[in-house]
Amino acid sequence: MRFSVLLILCLFALSCARKTAPQPTTHTANIREVTLWHSYNNAETRVFNSIVVDFEKEHPNIKIKAERVPFDGLLPKLTSATIAHKTPDIARVDIGHVPRLAWGHAISPLDSYGASKDLHLMLSVATDVARIKTPHDTSPRVYALPDQLTTVALYYNKKLLAEAKINPPQDLADLLPLGKILRERGKSYKAFAMNSSLWWIMPYLFLHNAHILNHELTRCELNTKESVEAITYLRRLYTEGTEAGAWLSGAINPDQGFLTGKYAMLLSGAWNLQTFKSVPFGVALVPGNGNLRSASNIGGSAMVVFSASRVKKEAYDFLSYLVSTRVQEKWIKETGQLSVNNDANKNMASFFSNELKTFLAQLKYAKPRPQLPGYDALETIVAPYLYAALDGSLPVYEAMRRACLEVEHDLLQ
């Protein structure tokens, strides 16, 4: 069955459920109860629970009933809950799933409650994540409030680079010849390792002014001159011996190779700061390309309010409280993480390591994935063609041409 047919069925189910879903939230005489599903880890949950307690003290008429659920299986659980009319009022979801929920009428726009003012407090890329234009919208509307945003930067092994007498590259042109330099200097490790999925190659696409889809989400642009140049560059990294082929089937993956000293550099996120602590690493911006100083992709999570909720205002009040400067300062202090709130990051800068400061700077160069309901299917379609382009099974343009034909046939019609 084509991906587009599956998507339509999913959206139809969500739309029907929205129209008929009874209220899942219980009320007492003066208390408005808001149910919330989240997926924070143990340390984050402790901080989040304390934020909930603080909010309830300041809003005695609102009770937050928070439930921790597994992050990986959340979307199927939400789909089932929608069909069964048992959605929560709020859920924390992957930002890649927000368009699907919005297009399917499962979640409610938040503009009328004042969400735009919350976005003004946030990292600029948060607006690109939160605002979505669906077929039933005349213009983009705010369907989510991001609570955590992540991006990737360049990790490098200080010891290995010092031994080879090379510096972290600041430009893609500086990265390309490093394989030859390492061989000439008798080094057995590879300069760079990469993942090859669409999400992971987005920084290189952006650095070549390339796009995955056009703005209207009606045409695939992976076969354009700019996209082909970006992927051809990655192919050269591999064939000229700078990139390790870490994306090949059966190869040592980038994280493991970096930990064991087989790879000197890779792109990864702040989530690996603790994982890589046994390596003498530094973090730098993703190397730029000519006039473009850097670029990166964006990941993370956002809070959404479900259409079936009868306590949307109370749900929004909690989300607005959660992303406020004062609460996000608490989040930074007690988790040691970056915040989505600009002022909180500035006010608590002394709590950040140099590495976290680099990730904060990298977020200024981050761009979102396409706001497509079938983004997961897009990744699935494109993956084998990217592999074929990188390993030489197909010429780069031909691989991307075929990928675009399939994307347009199965997802964009």
The CATH number assigned to the domain holding 261 equals 3.40.190.10
pLDDT for res 29: 58
Q: Are 241 and 317 contained in the same domain?
A: no
Let me know if residue 365 belongs to a domain: no
Q: Are 64 and 164 contained in the same domain?
A: no
| Mean pLDDT computed over every residue of the chain | 92
Let me know if residue 364 belongs to a domain: no
Let me know if residue 367 belongs to a domain: no
Across the range 167-192, mean pLDDT stands at 97
pLDDT for res 390: 98
Q: Name which of 64-73, 80-89, 161-170, 213-222 the model is least confident about.
A: 80-89
pLDDT band at residue 323 under the 50/70/90 scheme: very high
* Structure confidence by residue, pLDDT tens digits, 202-253: 999 999 999 999 999 999 999 999 999 999 999 999 999 999 999 999 999 9
Asked whether residue 154 carries a pLDDT value surpassing 80, the answer given is yes
User: What number of other Cβ atoms are within 10 A of residue 335's Cβ?
Assistant: 18
pLDDT for res 3: 44
pLDDT for res 21: 43
Asked whether residue 108 carries a pLDDT value surpassing 80, the answer given is yes
Let me know if residue 406 belongs to a domain: yes
Across the range 306-322, mean pLDDT stands at 97
Q: Are 286 and 306 contained in the same domain?
A: no
User: What number of other Cβ atoms are within 10 A of residue 9's Cβ?
Assistant: 11
Q: Are 219 and 303 contained in the same domain?
A: no
Cα separation, 98 vs 382, in Å, equals 21
* Structure confidence by residue, pLDDT tens digits, 244-290: 999 999 999 999 999 999 999 999 999 999 999 999 999 999 999 99
pLDDT band at residue 6 under the 50/70/90 scheme: very low
- Phi then psi for residue 316, to 5 deg, are -65, -40
Q: Are 163 and 128 contained in the same domain?
A: no
Cα separation, 144 vs 95, in Å, equals 9
Q: Are 132 and 158 contained in the same domain?
A: no
pLDDT for res 22: 43
Contact 254, 193 (CB under 8 A): yes
Q: How many CA atoms lie within 13 A of 367 on its CB side?
A: 19
Within its chain, how far is the Cα of 74 from the centroid? 16
Q: Are 142 and 265 contained in the same domain?
A: no
Q: Are 16 and 135 contained in the same domain?
A: yes
Across the range 60-67, mean pLDDT stands at 97
Across the range 356-369, mean pLDDT stands at 97
What proportion of the chain, given as a percentage, has pLDDT over 90?
86
Across the range 300-318, mean pLDDT stands at 97
What proportion of the chain, given as a percentage, has pLDDT over 70?
93
pLDDT for res 81: 80
Q: Are 71 and 143 contained in the same domain?
A: yes
Q: Are 291 and 309 contained in the same domain?
A: no
Let me know if residue 215 belongs to a domain: yes
pLDDT for res 229: 98
Q: Are 325 and 209 contained in the same domain?
A: no
pLDDT for res 144: 98
Which pTM value belongs to this model?
0.91
Q: Please return the burial class of 88, using the count of CB atoms within 10 Å of its CB with bins 0-12, 13-18 and 19+.
A: buried
SS3 category, 191: coil
pLDDT band at residue 19 under the 50/70/90 scheme: very low
- Tell me the longest C-alpha to C-alpha distance in the chain: 78
Q: Name which of 45-54, 81-90, 188-197, 379-388 the model is least confident about.
A: 81-90
Cα dihedral across residues 345, 132, 95, 255: positive or negative: negative
Q: Are 140 and 266 contained in the same domain?
A: no
Give the domain extent around 116. 3-150+299-359
* Structure confidence by residue, pLDDT tens digits, 171-181: 999 999 999 99
pLDDT for res 28: 52
Q: How many domains does the chain have?
A: 2
Let me know if residue 366 belongs to a domain: no
User: What number of other Cβ atoms are within 10 A of residue 183's Cβ?
Assistant: 13
Across the range 343-358, mean pLDDT stands at 97
Cα separation, 164 vs 112, in Å, equals 57
